[in-house]
Amino acid sequence: MTRRFDSFVIFGEMRTGSNFLETNLNEFPDIFCMGEAFNPEFIGTPKTDQVLGYDVDRRDRDPHGLLQAFREQPDGLYGFRYFYGHDPRILETLLDDPRCAKVILYRNPVESFVSLQIAQQTGQWKLTNLKRRETRPIQFDPDTFDAFLGKFNSYYQILQNELQQRGQTAFHLHYADLHDLDVINGLGQFWVQLRRWNSCAKR
């Protein structure tokens, strides 16, 4: 049987909880989230050199080749996180592909903005030990926030409109949902469905 999905993408933004979501997804035995595979500054994470055999140079030369590599992995469902500012050459292809499972992760933009400002000041982008968490007061600049808000809202509006026009849907998550056991269980059921299709395809 042909499996339902060949890959997945998490559409989000910085400071929306995408690291936490990726960690949860990677707990499944046959689901693999490979970080920010199309971040122009690095591939996967700042500490990784390659994703699925592609380094930064090869990816930049052939972004659709890497996208195809995600689809062709035989041992599970592979995906990545995609933010505003990541390689725009693949966005239309992602949106056009009904066999790419889509998650849209959203957070209150004020909270995201404040968290981003704190992360930029402290250098703490991914916190695995809450005891080491640093907090600092920030200077709120209305012009900077307005620019951030415009980009933030535009990105999510584009995603929503483009998927509606294509007759597709996504699994929508809010930042607060990531700490709700019932919602996480619901997300787990969604991914288990994908796993069942994968298992059927291997028989």
At 157-185, the pLDDT tens digits run 999 999 999 999 899 999 988 888 777 66
Dihedral angle at the C-alpha atoms of 177, 180, 186, 191, nearest 10 degrees?
A: 70
CA distance 149 to 143: 10
Tokens 């949106």 sit on residue: 95
Burial class for 102, CB neighbours closer than 10 Å (0-12, 13-18, 19+)? buried
CA distance 168 to 99: 10
pLDDT at position 124: 53
pLDDT at position 94 over 60: yes
Burial class for 68, CB neighbours closer than 10 Å (0-12, 13-18, 19+)? middle
Inter-axis angle of helices 142-165 and 109-122, nearest 10: 120
Give the pLDDT mean for 37-53: 96
Q: What is the CATH number of domain 7-202?
A: 3.40.50.300
